[in-house]
Structure 1
Amino acid sequence: MTGGPVDAPVLVACAHGTRSAEGRATVRALADDVRALRPGLRVVEAFVDVQEPAVADAVADATLAGPDGGLRAVVTPLLLSTGHHVRHDIGAAVAGRPVRAAEPLGPDERLVAVLLERLREAGAEPDDAVVVAAAGSTDPAAAGAVEQVVAGVRAAWHGPVTVGYGAAASPSVPEAVTAARAAGAARVVVAAYLLAPGHFHGALLGAGADVLTRPLGPHPLLARIVLDRYDAQVASGPVAAVAVARG
């Protein structure tokens, strides 16, 4: 699909939020890439933390107009896996409204392709040990999603590929880097499985690796994943009749 009718459901692009100017610019660039791929589609940005508008406010605004009984918005997470923000923040924002929540960006083979591209850009060599650095979550589904992406990198990379987490899961990224060196790696590269620059990416500089890749965004493949997630919900048909809050 390349066009978007003016009465199509609003795409609420929901990111985590960050105080990093570069991180905010990356999210804006991703939203702009989506608009460029789908002219006429209304795309609004929303956040679960730090930035405004909050996702609940963006959803409320998106549902003020539209056909009764029709799907008025799809909240599409600009998040790499499920977890608290997807299940609770976004889930609460869409509950009781003519709105659906799309799946997060990952896992997806295109994310593997972007990670491999970032490794090549950073000068990683085929024999280097790679630690894929993910944010981390206590949600088992999130860990499973990360492992699927790591498996994709492992299948394409000659050297050893492991995973490390920033929080809420183990091993930590520094622990994974240390383990890679103990296993005999001459060089260790941390592949940042993060959407945008921010606090966590900055912390990776102290993880002890020889090379750190830049985050996934901005990248044209990300916008295509966003639209695929959105389209899947639009294609699901009409939503059940609900009472729309106007206040």
Structure 2
Amino acid sequence: MTPALVATSHGTSSPAGRRAVAALVEAVRRRLPHVQVHDAFVDVQTPTPDDVVAHLGRPAVVVPLLLAPGFHVRVDVARAASAPGCTAAATLGPDDRLVGVLVRRLLAAGACDEDVVVLASAGSSDPVAQACFETVARDLSAAIGQIVPVGYVGGTGRPLADVVAAARVDGSDRRVVATSLLLAPGFFQDRVAAADVDVVTRPLLDDGPVDPRLVDLVVDRYAAAVTTSPAQRGWSGTG
């Protein structure tokens, strides 16, 4: 039995954010026509991954549409994935494909070599998540040829406002560009947009076409988890 894919995002009250995430999940459905793909959310929206898994009655892989490990992965995703025949996939980050999308967003925003680039993240109190964001920053630094510091608009870690202030301390007239390490429009993207920066890139997902690299990433996370799924070792369900 092919495990279902439970695409689990954070959830948002932003209509634009909901459309953006839904577009990613729909793109995954088109890529995997023989797999049941279900939406789930750890906050704000319903159903929860627990509810989805409980109603499936079949093997499933809970794929977190989250950029780094953290509370929701340790608690919500892990709890849903503990059901018989289920397993959890890795988070979307860190991954070179995220960096590729970030570079594309910078180019689309008109960023140039003379700009100072900072990476804007929602943040987390989880040190593993923070290390993940720092890894993305290092990889982005290598990709664009300048050191890219990370600033947070939530959780713990160095606030974005402090990172931007440090970028402006030399008194030069170089623009400061905040590249958004956020999955979709919503509360945190609004906080990034309110920062004292000259340019803010769009989040990884928006109302435009879904970048194929993000679809690839979700599909690959699912495929990797399927190989270790309890369903592959024999599951008592039928269907």
TM normalised by structure 2 equals 0.92
**Does the CA contact (< 8 Å) of 2:192 and 2:200 recur in 1?**
yes
1:141 maps to 2:128: yes
Give per-residue Cα distances to partners, 1:13-48, cap 9 Å, x unaligned.
000000000000011100011111111211000000
2:212 & 2:71 partners in 1: Cα distance?
A: 27
Aligned-residue sequence identity (percent) comes to 45
Q: Residue type matched to 1:31 in 2?
A: V
Instruction: Kindly indicate whether residue 11 of structure 2 is the aligned counterpart of residue 17 of structure 1.
Output: yes
2:51 match:
57
Aligned match of 2:202: 214
Paired residues of 2:138 and 2:147 also in contact (CA < 8 A): no
Q: Matches of 2:235 and 2:187 in 1, distance apart?
A: 39
Cα deviation per residue 1:170-205 (whole Å; 9 max; x = unaligned)? Answer: 211111111111145511000000010001101112
**Distance of 2:229 and 2:181 partners within structure 1:** 33
Aligned length: 231
Provide runs of 4+ in structure 1 moved above 6 Å: 240-244
Q: CA separation in 1, counterparts of 2:139 and 2:18?
A: 28
- Alignment match, 2:222: 230
Q: How far 1:106 moved relative to its partner?
A: 0.2
Which of the residues 165, 181, 186 maps onto 1:198? Answer: 186
For 1:205, the aligned partner's letter is: A
Q: Secondary structure at the match of 2:151?
A: strand
- Could you tell me how far apart the structure 1 residues matched to 2:83 and 2:6 are? 16
Structure 1 unmatched ranges of 5 or more: 1-6, 67-71
Contact 2:87 2:229 in 1 (8 A): no
Q: Give 1:219 shift.
A: 1.8
Cα distance in structure 2, aligned partners of 1:184 and 1:77: 42
The amino acid that maps onto 1:104 is T
CA contact (8 A) 1:96 1:242 kept: no
Q: Which residue of 1 aligns with 2:113?
A: 126
Tell me the equivalent position of 2:160: 173
Once the two structures are TM-superposed, the CA of residue 242 in structure 1 deviates from its matched residue by 8.4
Cα distance, 1:241 vs. partner? 7.6
Once the 2 structures are TM-superposed, how far is the Cα of residue 237 of structure 1 from its aligned partner? 5.0
Give me the TM-score of the superposition, normalised by structure 1: 0.89
Are the aligned partners of 1:127 and 1:159 in contact in 2 as well (CA < 8 Å)? no
